[in-house]
Structure 1
Amino acid sequence: MTIMEKPGAHGTLIAPDTLEIRRVLPAPPERVWAWLTDSELRRKWLAAGEMTLVPGAECELVWRNDELTDPPGTRPGDIGDENRMTCRVIAVDPPRSLSITWGKASDVTFTLAPRGEGTLLTIVHARLPDRASLLGVSAGWHAHLGVLVSLVEGSKPAPFWDAFTALRTDYDQRLP
């Protein structure tokens, strides 16, 4: 297990506009795939939204981060209680990879690989348009993956917003 795969490990820049973050989850790829693609499961750690797994299909992701953890923590004043974004499926290879547009500005690829009895989940978020976006998605993916790991492990996740706020400050100091 590399440092990037350990729980809580920070994402790294693999290009000036591209973040990569990895986690090993204690579940087979098929189960992790369900957490990525099933709206009811995905809403528990990231965002709701029905997704048709066909290239070109659009989906709307709906974030209600106040509902991810109990307690939710203190939401930053610059973020609303609900956020929506239209995405489009770029490529799909169940249960190994899924690529989607991330709004109009960037793309995200999820790759799943067996790792022992678990799954290595790698997220690559590319074409981030500016530093503010880079910091937001770095802290966001890190905090959301913390919730996912806890849910898959059957443990209680830490307050989402408190983790996000601390991580946004941390990434601001770590990333060029």
Structure 2
Amino acid sequence: MNEIAEIDAYGVVTEPATIQIRRRLPGPIDRVWGYLTDSDLRRQWLASGDMPLAADAAFTLTWRNDELTDPPGDKPEGFGTEHSMDSTILEIDAPHRLTFAWPPRGEVTFELREKAGEVLLTLTHRRISDRTNMLMIGAGWHMHLDILVARIAGTQPEPFWDGWKRLKADYDQRLGADL
């Protein structure tokens, strides 16, 4: 079985407080790496912010989810137009692995593997505080990664907020009440 071909779009809980999501992207790996590390490319699917590519380097991510798609969709109450998070790179092995802190306790790892002209991106978010955050984070990463796939493939993604709300409800059903 081709591991890159056989992936589920939804994240899975791989251990307590950890969600993992995988995506297949067209290569080369250096282009995908650029979308993870270059602020101008990253802001097209996730968040802007200069990221020094060194372990222990501090950086700030700034989300402007209303700017990710046109139209942005129907934003739920409680979300502003901009959100920033200070972080630190914990591990970097270009162009294969990037781990950074997700304050106050979590961490996010991106792993890239190239095979036959495609790139398998595996995102792992560890130490998610509770079920409510697991639903928000699972839906958020899922939607952001869908936008990344669309950007790299040159297609139009679903409006961000509409997709996020739909996915949050999906994750609520898929993850069950035991989290």
The yes-or-no answer on 1:80 pairing with 2:80 is yes
User: Identity over the aligned pairs, expressed in percent?
Assistant: 47
Residue 114 (str. 1) matches residue 118 (str. 2): no
Aligned to 2:35: 35
- Judge conservation of contact 1:59–1:87 (CA < 8 Å) in 2: yes
Runs (4 or more) in structure 1 with deviation over 2 Å come to none
SS of the residue 1:143 aligns to: helix
CA contact (8 A) 1:70 1:159 kept: yes
Q: TM-score, normalised by structure 1?
A: 0.95
Q: Which residue of 1 aligns with 2:10?
A: 10
CA contact (8 A) 2:63 2:83 kept: yes
In structure 2, the partner of 1:101 is 101
Would the aligned equivalents of 2:110 and 2:124 in 1 still touch at CA under 8 Å? Answer: yes
Tell me the equivalent position of 1:25: 25
2:65 is the counterpart of 1:61: no
Classify the secondary structure of the residue corresponding to 2:41: helix
Q: Could you list the runs of 5+ residues in structure 1 that have no partner in the other structure?
A: none
Q: What is the number of equivalent residue pairs in this alignment?
A: 172
Deviation string, structure 1 residues 9-45 (Cα, Å, up to 9, x no partner)? 1000001200000000012110000000000000000
- Cα distance in 2 for residues equivalent to 1:105 and 1:64: 23
* Contact kept in structure 2, 1:22 and 1:123, CA below 8 Å: yes
> 1:80-131: CA deviations, max 9, x gaps?
1111111100000000000000122200000000022110000000010111
Structure 1 contact 26–152 (Cα < 8 Å) conserved: yes
1:125 aligns with 2:125: yes
Q: Tell me how large the CA RMSD over aligned residues is.
A: 0.8
| Distance in 2, Cα, partners of 1:79 & 1:150 | 24
